Chain A
Amino acid sequence: MDFLKKYLYPLLTGIGILVALLVFSLNVPLNREANVIERSVLGVLSPLLRPVSRISGFVEDIWDGYIQLVDTNRENMRLREDIRGLNLRMLEANEAFLSNRRLELLLEMKKSVREPTVAATVIGEDITSWFRTLVINRGSSSGIREGMAVISSDGVVGQTVKVSSSTARVLLLTDHASGISATIQRSRARGVVKGKGEMLCTLEFATREEDVKVGDVIITSGIGGVFLKGLPIGEVTMVKRGEYGIFQTVSIRPAVNLSHLEEVLVVQRGGYE
């Protein structure tokens, strides 16, 4: 009795461990099936689990949807900032890409011109609407003088007038005061391209007998010493021969889009002191 009294708890503990081990070892092969104990416990608990699960879901919703909104708002602000920054970078990248393409074309034109050239950026336009001039960011300090040819990747832009040390004005070929000696590429007929104001030019002094057709390309003739021979000026858009008169009326659309000009090349040849 004394022995039992003395070792009751260790004995019961050992039996308990043994039983637990037995239960475990007996259930190892039946690990995928629910036994009686499991079924009974789950059966009792399931009616209790459902409402508790709903309540915990409700609490979770409140936590995520309202209490954590302080962080969400902060995160939202940060993300908006990020989006703004990324949009800006995307715009800059697009702008850099377009600028790169324009400059590549300009570089090709620069290579094709056999005279030294200086690249310039358009920084302004004529203050009035009656004259057609541009302001570029290069002047006499870059070797530019009045009367030098200004070209872009598409063709002739005009010539320099009124040069200061850091800027120069460019008289566009569409200005009424502009005149460029020109040749029709196909028929080699000659004339003078005069400005007509609003993005248009005319070929003057082309006699009625000269072969001029709509779509003909007009190039510089090289006569006059300002422009090199063969630079594109524009395309013939209209030819009108009256019954009388010596000359025909020829309208030209400039090859260069003068309203969207950003970079130009100044050919450092000729010019007057």
Chain B
Amino acid sequence: MSRRSVLLFICLVLASIIIQVSLLPVFIRPPFKPDLLLVIMVFIALRESFEVGAPLAWLLGMFDDVCGGLYLGLNAFTFLISFLVIKSVSDRLYADSAILFVLTVAGVTLAGFTLNLLLILMFTASPGIIYSMLSDIFPRLLVNAFIASIVAAFPGFDCQLESQ
């Protein structure tokens, strides 16, 4: 990654966290809050190299955990697993496709939900959370896909981030 890309990435992550923690809760109800860090992670998984992307995906998950919930490492684990799965197939796909990006974000939202649920049920003592998660998953899936479609509509979306 170039210095400019690193700076852009840091600004993007910071802006996403601030928007999600302080701005969006004022205007929209929790189930309709998008997971912007997940969208960034999917973008990285489709575009970046394995060496750079894997630690970044884990870091993004850690940011998600620091700013939400009680269990540090929960989303970090989920993001890393999701990254590895996407990376393992992304070389065989046309990664610049907007539709693929939207579908991948939707898929990762579902996969992340399942993994999180499994981890919470296995390692924590809050079984009741399954009802909250189940009631939230459908709006969350739609909102994340919507945000992904907005990102895909940005000019320059189909440009490569780095020369391979």
Give A contacts to B, CB under 8 Å: 123-131, 133, 135, 161-162, 171, 175-177, 194-198
Contacts and interface: CB of A to CB of B under 8 A. Distances in A.
A130 B128 contact: no
B132 A133 contact: no
Nearest to A125: B25
B68 A128 contact: yes
A128 B67 CA distance: 8
Contacts of A130: 69, 116, 129, 132-133, 136
B70 A129 contact: no
12 contacts: A124-B67, A125-B25, A125-B30, A126-B21, A127-B37, A127-B68, A130-B132, A130-B136, A131-B70, A171-B70, A175-B126, A197-B128
Given A171-B70, A197-B131, A197-B132, A128 B124 contact: no
B128 A176 contact: yes
Given A133-B68, A171-B70, A127 B129 contact: no
Contacts of B116: 130
B22 A124 contact: yes
Q: Which 6 A-B pairs have the closest CB atoms?
A: A127-B68, A197-B132, A129-B30, A125-B25, A124-B21, A127-B67
A162 B33 CA distance: 23
Contacts, number: 76
Contacts of A124: 21-22, 25, 67
B48 interface: no
B21 A128 contact: no
A177 B132 contact: no
Contacts of A198: 30, 132, 135
Contacts of B140: 129
Please report whether the interface of chain A is mostly helix, strand, loop or mixed according to DSSP. loop
A180 B116 CA distance: 25
Contacts of A194: 128
A131 B69 contact: yes
Interface of B: 17, 20-22, 25, 30-31, 33, 35, 37, 64, 67-70, 75, 116, 124-129, 131-133, 135-136, 140
Contact of B132 (A123, A162, A171, A176): A176
A129 B75 CA distance: 13
A123 B22 contact: yes
A167 B1 CA distance: 33
Nearest to A202: B128
Nearest to B20: A127
Contacts of A133: 68-70
A127 B64 contact: yes
Given A127-B35, A130-B69, A194-B128, 7 more contacts: A126-B21, A130-B129, A130-B132, A133-B70, A135-B67, A176-B127, A198-B30
A177 B68 contact: no
A207 to B, nearest CB: 20
A129 B33 contact: yes
A5 B75 CA distance: 126
Contacts of A127: 17, 20-21, 35, 37, 64, 67-68
A251 to B, nearest CB: 13
A197 B127 CA distance: 12
Contacts of B31: 129
Nearest to A178: B126
B123 to A, nearest CB: 12
Contacts of B129: 130-131, 176-177, 197
A259 to B, nearest CB: 8
